[in-house]
Amino acid sequence: PYLGQGGHAYLQEWLWWAGLLCMGVGEAANFAAYAFAPATLVTPLGALSVLVSAVLSSTFLNEQLNVHGKIGCILSILGSTVMVIHAPQEEEVSSLESMVEKLKDPGFIVFAVCVLVSSLLLIFVAGPRYGQSNVLVYVLVCSAIGSLSVSCVKGLGIALKELFSGKPVLKEPLGWVLLVCLVICISIQINYLNKALDIFNTSVVTPVYYVLFTTAVMMCSAILFKEWQHMVLDNIVGTISGFLTIVSGIFLLHAFRDMPFTPDLLPLFLQQGRAELHASWRSADRHQSCQHQPLLPSEDKGSQSAEEEGESV
């Protein structure tokens, strides 16, 4: 398959494998973060990676970071700060036994079944028909499956804590089941995310994927770990406001990345105010020049009269 057709030609590029290795290192650090912090906090903070990539690309790849991109970076930092301040607290899950009880919750079972059924419909029904023309098809698959992968990561983090504390975790079947599910989910995510990036522009895929993936993870974490159950109103409002601020920053950073900022992009009332301001500046300059004009003609007249007297003599 050729590039731009949603195939697997990128597997022949060494640069793609190098990027995948770097992503693996980053995801390992992300794995550790999920083990010690609520997923509702960790996942939205992934927007900082988008911000860092934008700054590094403008520094090392000579890509232009316009006014929209700079405003987007500032909004992403502000939104992340607000989310950290109002971060939710998840229910304590300290063992695999308690994790099993969480996974048996009817709400999570219904959520997982809905995710799997919708993903299968998107892959086998909507994908062949609309995958080449609609960016939401493949991105929705990545986002839905990604929410389950985060749950697997949380369970494996608990298993690793117990392993380091000396408990016989390797004999527990849940840890191996979570590991297999995580590998399957990550493989599906990488496959369909690369399909979306191969077909559509990165500036379109990145903000859409971030919003849908973060929303799905927050829903899954709220159902599985009851992160929103004991939050007061101001923390709920702060968390949602911070998330929407990050979404606005990501949208500005990517959607208008290739658009130069010119005065023609301003609203009409700002353009009129700008024109009136320039007109007032021109009138002020003309008024100042008019004040100095009488001196010049008088000097010219004096010089002309002196020349006439010299000629008459």
pLDDT band at 306 (very low <50, low <70, confident <90, very high): very low
- Single-letter amino acid code for the residue at 200: F
Lowest mean pLDDT among 60-64, 136-140, 190-194: 60-64
pLDDT band at 284 (very low <50, low <70, confident <90, very high): low
pLDDT band at 8 (very low <50, low <70, confident <90, very high): low
Residue 299 pLDDT more than 50? Answer: no
Q: Distance (Å, rounded) from C-alpha 306 to C-alpha 16?
A: 85
Q: Distance (Å, rounded) from C-alpha 295 to C-alpha 303?
A: 12
Q: What is the mean pLDDT of the chain?
A: 76
Q: Distance (Å, rounded) from C-alpha 310 to C-alpha 201?
A: 81
Q: Report, as an integer, the average pLDDT of 19-37.
A: 78
pLDDT for 38: 77
Domains of the chain, by residue range, sit at 37-90+233-259, 94-226
pLDDT for 111: 92
Residue 222 burial class via C-beta count within 10 angstroms: exposed 0-12, middle 13-18, buried 19 and up:
buried
pLDDT tens for residues 120-175? Answer: 999 999 888 888 888 889 999 999 998 898 888 888 888 888 888 878 777 888 88
pLDDT for 307: 46
Residue 313 pLDDT more than 50? Answer: no
Determine contact, residues 37/93, Cβ cutoff 8 Å: no
Neighbours of 229 (CB within 10 A): 11
Q: Distance (Å, rounded) from C-alpha 151 to C-alpha 157?
A: 10
Q: Which two tokens stand for residue 264?
A: 């023609």
Verdict on whether the full-model pTM lies above 0.75: no
Q: Comparing C-alpha atoms, which of 159, 253, 241 is closest to residue 202? A: 253
Determine contact, residues 223/151, Cβ cutoff 8 Å: no
CA distances from 205 to 20, 27, 231 (A): 18, 20, 32
